[in-house]
Structure 1
Amino acid sequence: MSLEQFSSLLTASTHNFATLPVDLLLSSEGNLQTFYAPFDHVNTGAGVVICGITPGLQQASRALEEARHQLRNGASIDQAKQAAKETASFTGTMRKNLIGMLDHVGLHMLFDIDGCARLFDTHRHLVHYTSALRYPVFLDGQNYSGSPSILSRSSLRQQVDTHLTEEVRMLGPKCLYVPLGPKVTEVFQHLQCKGLLRAEQLLDGLPHPSGANAERISYFMGGKPREKLSSKTNPTVLDAAKARIIAKLANLNREGI
């Protein structure tokens, strides 16, 4: 989408973004559809990247609303895109759960801040928010949640091999990555195999911060005892992941990042 199209669409549209306009459709592959939303901004000075699967409808709508608001108030397109991404990324319950888990493993201590909530307000300069799939993807009209596999569909893999790959190269070899959930971890392992980043840069194993993962999140943070877990939660996997993340952070604290 050209800058002119972006500006014209957002300043002229009266759409309330409860659904995404057909004007924003980027590609279709079977029952998968990819739409544009302003998640292009890359914070090249970030020390840590928080990476989800793809923006959902709620996040895309908020980003579009914020971009339109910014443009109508005289912001440049780059300023509008930055504000849109910062406003919409990991909103709602997801943000609260994410902050709780990151604080629990001690990420905030690495950056000498009082808590990871600061990564969403006063210390946004330290973090880059992104997704394995930069632009929102829908499966049969519903938010795409990682199945079919990202790497198994050409329209999805293309986003990884272009947008996400470009971001990793821009951010450099010292940046840390927090992939949210096993679907995103698989993508970063793909990038690792291509030599784009090292295992030490990956803080993988956090449960996805979606409200649907409440039990896993609670156990990860020590809120639910092992004996009360349902069969859907594997405590051994979560324990190993937490220990691995904490060990990596301890090592980074010793060496400096």
Structure 2
Amino acid sequence: MSLFEHYQHLMADEAFILAGKPLPEGLLLSSEGSLQTFYAPFDHINEQARIVICGITPGLQQAMNALNEARRQLRNGASVALAKQAAKETSSFSGPMRPNLIAMLDHIGVQTYLGIDSCERLFESHRHWVHYTSALRYPVFLNGENYSGNPGLLSRASLRNQIENHLSEEIRALPANCVYVPLGPKVGEVFEYLLTLGLLRPEQVLSGLPHPSGANAERISYFLGRKDKAALSVKTNAGSLDAAREQLTKKIGQLRAPAR
């Protein structure tokens, strides 16, 4: 029995209250010190994907969106497979980070590689081309707040377990020519680790994008050319962003276009 099926009765129950922080105790999967991992329906794997976009872990907003969509689908008579797919597609990178993500992907030329006018299509008409995921498939909270990468993703057993089992499972299920976009340096470190395990080839991994979170607004603005270097705060390293942008643009230009 999958985790989705295990929690199916909760998600379909109209009396199940999705409120409070971080999530209801009935969805708790594990605790490790101040870290808690909860179940939310992010299990679906799009095995036809051409590109994989990988964040750190679903936040509270994304988890609530996924749980609500799964419940709506189940109450309307959808199959488990369809409910899982709809929950994943509706909630992945939902909220304010989505326009930031689309703008950065377009800026480095991902839309040209894929043969579409904008990566916005990956959230609309071309969802079948993308697999959305996270280094940590299930939502993790630190002291009840969204986990943002500290302590490190490979530094705790409960976190490493998700990477070595769930994320590795997804990579093995996906086409061998998929390209992967890890979001932010924390996820980039995870993909460096996966490369050492031989799960991926270096040309498949497009590391260097700032994380699309609103907390990275200045880095994103500079990466997109919307803010001048002279106006940056001391917290933003323009040199590293310039190098990442140049390296990503060059790498994407060298990729063979995926088969239509």
Q: 1:233-248 residue pairs with structure 2 within 5 A?
A: 233-248=236-251
Cα distance, 1:246 vs. partner?
0.5
Q: Which runs of 5+ in 1 are unaligned?
A: none
Change in 2 beyond 3 A, CA 1:13/1:155? farther
Structure with the higher helix share, 1 or 2: 1
1:106-136 CA-to-partner distances (Å, cap 9, x unmatched) read 1011111110000001000110000000000
**Contact map agreement 1:15 1:21 (CA 8 A) in 2:** no
Q: Which runs of 5+ in 2 are unaligned?
A: none
Partner SS, residue 129 of structure 1? strand
TM-score between both structures, scaled by the size of structure 2: 0.96
Select 1:151's aligned residue among 145, 151, 154.
154
Number of the residue aligned with 1:201: 204
Number of the residue aligned with 1:105: 108
Cα distance, 1:3 vs. partner?
5.0
CA distance in 2 between counterparts of 1:172 and 1:241 reads: 26
Number of the residue aligned with 2:173: 170
Number of the residue aligned with 1:139: 142
Select 1:221's aligned residue among 205, 220, 224.
224
1:76-120 CA-to-partner distances (Å, cap 9, x unmatched) read 111101000100000111001000000111101111111000000
Structure 1 position 86 matched with structure 2 position 92: no
Structure 1 position 192 matched with structure 2 position 195: yes
Percent identity, please.
62
Number of the residue aligned with 2:118: 115
Change in 2 beyond 3 A, CA 1:3/1:177? closer
- What is the count of residue pairs matched by the alignment? 255
Partner SS, residue 58 of structure 2? coil
**Contact map agreement 1:98 1:209 (CA 8 A) in 2:** yes
Q: 1:16-55 residue pairs with structure 2 within 5 A?
A: 16-19=17-20, 20-55=23-58
CA distance in 2 between counterparts of 1:2 and 1:233 reads: 41
CA distance in 2 between counterparts of 1:184 and 1:81 reads: 24
Select 1:75's aligned residue among 59, 75, 78.
78
Moved >4 Å (runs of 4+): 1-4
Which residue identity lines up with residue 144 of structure 2 in the other structure? G
TM-score between both structures, scaled by the size of structure 1: 0.97
Structure 1 position 127 matched with structure 2 position 125: no
Number of the residue aligned with 1:14: 15
**Contact map agreement 1:63 1:85 (CA 8 A) in 2:** yes
**Contact map agreement 2:4 2:41 (CA 8 A) in 1:** no
**Contact map agreement 2:54 2:183 (CA 8 A) in 1:** yes
**RMSD between aligned alpha carbons?**
1.1
1:187-239 CA-to-partner distances (Å, cap 9, x unmatched) read 00000011110111111111100001000000000000111100000011001
**Contact map agreement 2:114 2:257 (CA 8 A) in 1:** no
CA distance in 2 between counterparts of 1:169 and 1:96 reads: 29
Cα distance, 1:18 vs. partner?
2.7
**Contact map agreement 2:5 2:80 (CA 8 A) in 1:** no
1:6-40 CA-to-partner distances (Å, cap 9, x unmatched) read 22111114234233211110000011000000000
